[in-house]
């Protein structure tokens, strides 16, 4: 039977075992090179001793039949594998004649044995796959010589697949491609396009901006129009990421004049429009490009690009996944995982009451607890999850029940905030929906016990709720945002997340002055400037002048800069003493309050005059 015949029936785990077997085979060939018989004997022996899980899955009980099949696999693997000793070219065994002994080792003549099966009866092994696996196991010195013997296009594709795995493989890919571009320009042409594009990706992934910049500058002036266009396209996207729209379009037009019929211009133009938020224009140009590409697509070679353009002009997260994955490798896989998790979200964590407080606890199931600790270890070992997305994405995909952990959702929110993508909504939308489903299942809207921030196990859920509030606000869903923040204050009245200042300002904006007073009374000795000044303003609006005067004087004594700041028509943002923090009573505190609340004071009749009057009395 052929591998193609088996594919329809093999599970993903089965195919993983097949790939693992081929990797081990490449390693053995590397050590046996150039002794084919030694490899075939070793491979057949190991297969018969259950070394390869792949052969175990075949459930062949007859030992002779197993050895026969293993030998056939070994011969085909050897014939497809490039040998370092042969300048990275295969050294296939000669095909036996009909009266020669059969290759399977049965002792029969070929015509009486496997010849009856025909070529379709032999296991088919991909030469491209074996080339990639051999390059993975050779020494660094041998790897650096591969470019002299193998097509550069093939090396570019191999490098692209390696860089998606982890940093070590990305570095190996860079080591493999670098010698190509140490050649003089006249030795490089259109056949090096794929390798050059992979080099640009590797420089970004491995944080080598100088090397990438030098490559782009060099190839924008290269004699080959194809390589020029590749570099110009990269420069366009870099300038687009930096918000230098005019320069990005100038380079796009240069690339267009250089090679007006290059199909890649379609993707580049739509990407620039997307980066600049011109979604309506992107939709129109996308439809234009679909018609144009259909006319250029004579033999189906542009099918993938046409599908990509269709995805780019679609609004759904699933359709956007391939594009997002191009900009941030791994992000597209995360979108797919989130979409699946939303359909039937599991509940891995649960709440309980401990010491009169509500707490989130891990499941009692030992396997689930081990899985969560494995996830935690992965996150702790990677400062930036997107530098090596492979391991943690693989864990998510292998264990979809991780979607039931609010800790995992909290970590994913942090990872998504780190994404550099022109369309973060494609990732945030399914993440918000999953987070909302889990939070509503986990936390009561009206808690009977406090859900304290002091309990470390509670913080992920509280952070996720804060994320949901911020996201609703960004989506102009102010009502939902306020409701979530009120929910947070009911859960954690100590308000370690600073929700109260946002809530009181929103109450005042809505004219809910009594609600603002009630909220402020929960924090009588507060340091929060929004609570103190908002309390006074709400009382003033309610006509409780005496109490309002008292509260405003207390607020001014605590934060005297506020008065002058609110009265200024214009004010520059001050330099913060400690980025990420606000100094109590400082100029930065006054500036932030002015930004969030000055409109509230201006919208209240006589409030500014009253503020000035009380300040003078103080």
Q: What is the pLDDT of residues 553-566, one digit of tens each?
A: 999 998 888 888 89
Q: 383: alpha, beta or left, given left = phi > 0 and alpha = psi -120 to 50?
A: alpha
In this predicted structure, what is the pLDDT of residue 2? 43
Half-sphere exposure in the Cβ direction for 124 (13 Å, CA): 13
Is 34 a domain residue?
yes
Burial 338-373 (b: 16+ CB within 10 A, else e): bbebbeebeebbebeeeeeebbbeebeeeebeebbe
Q: Residues 121-168: pLDDT tens digits?
A: 445 688 899 999 999 999 999 999 999 999 999 999 999 999 877 788
Is 43 a domain residue?
yes
Residue 299 sits at the vertex; the CA angle it makes with 293 and 305, to the nearest 5 degrees, is 40
Q: 352 by DSSP, 3-state: which?
A: strand
pTM listed for this prediction:
0.54
In this predicted structure, what is the pLDDT of residue 378? 87
Is 60 a domain residue?
yes
Is 85 a domain residue?
yes
In this predicted structure, what is the pLDDT of residue 348? 65
Cα gap 333→421, rounded to integer Å: 15
Is 58 a domain residue?
yes
- Which residues lie below 8 Å from residue 430, measured CB to CB, with a gap of 6+? 317, 335, 338, 339, 341, 342
Is 473 a domain residue?
no
Domain count, the chain: 1
Residue 439 · residue 464 · CB < 8 Å: yes
- Which residues lie below 8 Å from residue 229, measured CB to CB, with a gap of 6+? 255, 258, 259, 262, 264
Is 404 a domain residue?
no
Please give the residue range of the domain that contains residue 64: 3-130
Is 482 a domain residue?
no
In this predicted structure, what is the pLDDT of residue 213? 92
Q: What is the mean pLDDT of each run of 10 residues along the chain (618 residues)?
A: 44 76 92 89 85 82 82 89 93 78 69 55 73 93 94 94 85 95 94 93 87 94 92 87 83 90 88 74 89 89 85 64 67 82 68 72 75 88 80 88 88 82 64 84 84 86 90 79 92 90 94 94 89 94 93 91 86 66 74 90 92 84
* Three-state secondary structure string covering 451-508: CCCCCHHHHHHHHHHHHHHHHHHHCCCHHHHHHHHHHHHHHCCCCCCCHHHHHHHHHH
Residue 557 CB burial class (10 angstroms; 0-12, 13-18, ≥19): exposed
């Amino acid at each position: 039977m052929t591998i193609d015949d088996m594919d329809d029936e093999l599970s993903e785990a089965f195919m993983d075992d097949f790939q693992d077997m081929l990797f081990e085979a490449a390693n053995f060939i590397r050590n046996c090179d150039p002794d084919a018989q030694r490899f075939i004997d070793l491979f057949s022996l190991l297969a018969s001793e259950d070394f390869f899980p792949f052969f175990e899955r075949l459930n062949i009980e007859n030992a002779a039949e197993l050895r026969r099949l293993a030998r056939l696999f070994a011969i085909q693997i050897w014939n497809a594998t490039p040998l370092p000793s042969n300048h990275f070219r295969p050294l296939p065994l000669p095909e036996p004649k009909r009266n020669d002994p059969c290759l399977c080792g049965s002792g029969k003549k070929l015509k009486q044995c496997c010849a009856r099966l025909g070529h379709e009866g032999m296991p088919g092994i991909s030469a491209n796959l074996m080339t990639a696996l051999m390059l993975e196991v050779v020494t660094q010195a041998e790897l650096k010589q591969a470019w002299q013997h193998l097509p550069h296009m093939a090396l570019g594709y191999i490098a692209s697949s390696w860089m998606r795995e982890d940093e070590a493989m990305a570095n190996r890919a860079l080591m493999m491609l670098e010698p190509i571009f140490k050649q003089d320009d006249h030795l490089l042409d259109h056949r090096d396009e794929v390798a050059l594009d992979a080099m640009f990706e590797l420089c970004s992934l491995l944080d080598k901006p100088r090397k990438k910049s030098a490559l782009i500058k060099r190839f924008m002036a290269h004699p080959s129009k194809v390589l020029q266009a590749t570099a110009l396209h990269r420069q366009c996207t870099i300038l687009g990421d930096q918000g230098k729209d005019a320069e990005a379009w100038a380079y796009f037009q240069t690339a267009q004049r250089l090679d007006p019929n290059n199909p890649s211009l379609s993707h580049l133009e739509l990407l620039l429009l997307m980066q600049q938020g011109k979604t309506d224009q992107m939709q129109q140009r996308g439809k234009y490009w679909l018609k144009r590409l259909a006319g250029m697509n004579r033999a189906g070679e542009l099918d993938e690009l046409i599908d990509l353009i269709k995805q780019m002009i679609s609004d759904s997260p699933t359709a956007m996944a391939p594009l997002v994955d191009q900009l941030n490798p791994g992000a597209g896989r995360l979108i797919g995982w989130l979409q699946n998790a939303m359909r039937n979200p599991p509940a891995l964590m649960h709440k309980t009451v401990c010491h009169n407080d509500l707490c989130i606890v891990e499941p009692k199931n030992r396997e689930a607890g081990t899985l969560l600790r494995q996830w935690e270890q992965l996150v702790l070992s990677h400062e930036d999850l997107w530098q090596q997305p492979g391991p943690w994405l693989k864990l998510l995909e292998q264990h979809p029940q991780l979607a039931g952990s609010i800790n995992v959702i909290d970590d994913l929110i942090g990872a998504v905030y780190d994404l550099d993508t022109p369309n973060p909504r494609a990732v945030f939308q399914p993440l918000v929906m999953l987070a909302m489903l889990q939070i509503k299942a986990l936390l009561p809207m009206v808690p009977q016990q406090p859900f304290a921030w002091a309990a470390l196990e509670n913080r992920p859920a509280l952070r996720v709720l804060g994320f949901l509030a911020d996201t609703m606000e960004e989506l102009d869903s102010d009502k939902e945002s306020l409701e979530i923040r009120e929910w947070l204050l009911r859960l954690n009245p100590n308000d370690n997340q600073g929700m109260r200042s946002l809530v009181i300002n929103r109450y005042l904006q809505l004219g809910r002055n009594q609600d603002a007073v009630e909220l402020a009374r929960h924090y009588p000795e507060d340091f929060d400037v929004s609570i103190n000044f908002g309390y006074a303003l709400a009382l003033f609006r309610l006509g409780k002048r005496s109490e309002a005067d008292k509260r405003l004087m207390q607020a001014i004594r605590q934060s005297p800069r506020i008065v002058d700041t609110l009265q200024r028509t214009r004010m520059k943002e001050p330099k913060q003493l400690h980025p990420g923090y606000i100094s109590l009573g400082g100029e930065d505190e006054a500036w932030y309050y002015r930004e969030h609340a000055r409109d509230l004071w201006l919208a209240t009749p006589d409030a500014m005059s009253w503020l000035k009057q009380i300040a003078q009395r103080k």
